[in-house]
A and B are shown apart, each in its own frame.
Chain A
Amino acid sequence: MSMTPSGDFRTSYAADMTIFPTRNSRLALLIGLAVLLCAPLVLGRYELSLMIQIGFLGIAALGLNILVGFTGQISIGHAAFFGFGAFASAWLVEHGVPVPLAIPLAGVATALVGLVFGLPAARLKGLYLAIATLAAQFILEDFFARARWFTGGVAGRITEPFTLLGLRFDHDETYFYVVVFWVVVMFVAAANLMRSRDGRALVAVRDHYLSAELMGINLAYYRTLSFGIASFYAGVGGALYAHYLLFVSVEAFNILFSIQFLAMVIIGGLGSVMGSLMGAAFMVLMPELVQSAAQALEGGAIDRALSLGASINFLREMAIGAAIILFLIFEPDGLARRWRLMKAYWKLYPYSH
């Protein structure tokens, strides 16, 4: 049973260019998907809610990864676009658009906004661009707080649950499927993008924009495009968030959240499609784990011995900060690389080393 081919046996270019290289890996994928679809039957609401969060955050993180990892443009304003998607979807639903349609439309609307804010990207480079996106973050946040007609102002906006053909997807067990659907669609689309013309162009722009330009790649177009695509993903993720929480408030989309997106992407692995999902999982699960560790400690022997008391909360925050740092030190290339190495290990098993 191997997930990656152990030799070059491919006979056609199509086979060489597929995303899933062996039959077994395709099989594993199908089984995995089937297991995933059964999840609501066995898992509790808590586990499902974590998975749902991983889902919509993962989609948005993937968008950011396309921007940062593939095109090499750092953005510190992703949460604002995520928020825009959330508000846009809520607003559309308020104006009579059914939720299933509002989600992709919100994505498109966010993409348009992203394009506007992406325009400076054609001229700016590196950290200058990063800080310009920081400006986008604050400007959009200010806009959210001000535009009552759109966002409900600072009080936020309540929105409707996802309904399709009369079915309400308003519980974790049901909404889970909505999120899984979008995750699959968005991730497959990204994987496809990366192995076709425009995806390669994005990476080329990242690696060496001067020579990319001479290869006939229009820098301004692709730099802006990658903002558009990233914002589209953020918008869809945000819309899914909106119809999950059923309440959208400007407070959520602050700079801290933007930085968390960045952390997801880096922890998951820059330039790795699946890494985005892994990074999102890491950022969602880690605080939960630390939290449950803290709860387990609370009142326990260690707690009393060290008289931790209220400080456990600070220890938790510190643990999160430390986890990010340790992660970067010991796994600087992200979870995706660890995953690849693990696969490589199994490929050779039992003859590794």
Chain B
Amino acid sequence: MEWALLLQLVLNGLIVGALYGVVAMSFVLIYKASQVVNFAQGEFMLIGAWVCWWLLTKWQLPFWIGFPVCLAFMTIFGVIVQVVVLRPLIGEPVISVIMATVGLSIFFQALMKWMFGVFAQPFPPIFPAERLSLFGLQIQSVYLLSLALSAVIMLGFWWFFTFSKHGLAMRATAFDQQVAQSLGVSVPKVFAMSWAISAVVSAVAGVVVGVVSGVSSGLSFYGIKVFPAVILGGLDSIVGGMLGGLIVGVLENLAQYVDAQWLNWGNMTNIAPFYALVLILLIKPYGLFGTKNIERV
């Protein structure tokens, strides 16, 4: 056992896990409003990253201006996607909507390549010190930004869903669109809101990933990678999404350790979260924090 290495791996897992958590939360948000799992979440990250990159390099905007502008763009983008694609599907079976998000993912994947090219691009440095040392582990400083943002986002969501009436409306819409409408909730508006927020949150994650390892279309793979995190935590739990992210992050790193030390299978980092996912679901069918469906006849 090499404790220093192990410690570094766990630390790294937590840091990366927080990022997964951010993406997971944006999944949860859409799920909570419409019971839809968004397969285009990865593309949302990608779009956010590209747009921000474009603002910073082509327009030479400083990060502290470019980043908010990018988020504002993503808000509008989320609304547009909702209006054009998802609004006509209101009332259709959830699975159709999920499929439509797959269509979105294919569409945007190609669109991004068309607009920004197929080559990976580096982000201009946004912090004076690109790296800093944490308990002996060198990490990119932008990860700290993501840590801070994820905490803020999580608290924001938590407040939103428990206390604000729009949060309640969102949950009601997810439960039964017809009832929500009968209560005066505008289902399209609720969806627009959830998609906009989700787009913004995933853009934050996209930018962080972009800063760390460059922007390229492969970035959207995070969208799939994060599924174990979402499910581990429970599809409809904001806190669960965050925690699931952390767990998956640590798990990946520990799996890499175990793999490198003993197994030498090679692929454990990628697969371990899925094994864990199946195991946890067998014990807790609604994830760690998901609410059980009410079964009453």
Contact = CB atoms under 8 A, between A and B. Distances in A.
A and B touch in the complex (CB under 8 A): yes
B131 interface: no
B85 interface: yes
B231 A128 contact: yes
Interface string A304-315: 000000010011
A332 B96 contact: yes
B278 interface: yes
Interface stretch (B189-197, B208-216, B286-294): B286-294
Contacts of B281: 120, 123-124, 128, 132
A325 B107 contact: yes
Q: Interface residue tally of chain A, by bracket?
A: 35 or more
A128 B106 contact: no
Interface string A172-212: 00000000000000000000000000000000000000110
B96 A315 contact: no
A220 interface: no
A135 B95 contact: no
B89 A321 contact: no
A328 B89 contact: yes
A125 B99 CA distance: 18
B191 to A, nearest CB: 14
A314 B102 contact: no
A66 interface: no
A91 B93 CA distance: 40
Interface in A109-156: 120, 123-128, 130-132, 134-136, 138-139, 142, 145-146
B129 interface: no
Report which residue of B228, B230, B278 has the largest number of chain A beta carbons within 10 angstroms of its beta carbon.
B278
A5 B95 CA distance: 33
Contact of A329 (B89, B105, B230): B89
A320 interface: yes
Nearest to A331: B96
B39 interface: yes
B27 to A, nearest CB: 10
Contact of B102 (A130, A136, A211, A324): A324
Interface string B103-116: 11111111101100
B37 A130 contact: yes
Interface string B266-285: 01001100110110011001
A36 interface: no
16 contacts: A74-B95, A126-B293, A131-B277, A132-B231, A142-B267, A263-B99, A266-B95, A311-B114, A317-B106, A317-B113, A318-B110, A318-B114, A321-B106, A325-B104, A328-B103, A332-B92
